[in-house]
Amino acid sequence: MADKEPSQTPAQKAKAEEAARKQARLSQALKANMARRKGQARARSAAPQEGSQTGSAQGAQQKET
């Protein structure tokens, strides 16, 4: 009764370990992506408002027509 965890076959154990590795990898990727986006947002807010690149492609298309 000391072992409350159900017994797993080697295949089940391998599958569970693979799922745990995948979850850890996804978690790390999400954290890295959030950090990258936060850095980009900081760079945008620190950039001068006159030279803003946001929407510049749309503005260029509208000027041509």
Per-residue pLDDT of the chain (65 residues; tens, 9 = 90+): 455 666 889 999 999 999 999 999 999 999 999 999 999 999 999 877 655 555 555 555 555 55
Residue environment code for 4-23, b if the CB has 16+ CB neighbours within 10 A, otherwise e: eeeeeeeeeeeeeeeeeeee
Can you give the pTM of this predicted structure? 0.54
**In a domain? residue 31:** yes
At 12 the pLDDT is 94
Q: How many domains does the chain have?
A: 1
Domain carrying residue 19? 11-42
Q: Compute the Cα dihedral for 56, 57, 62, 64 and give only its sign.
A: positive
**In a domain? residue 20:** yes
**In a domain? residue 30:** yes
User: 10 in helix, strand or coil?
Assistant: helix
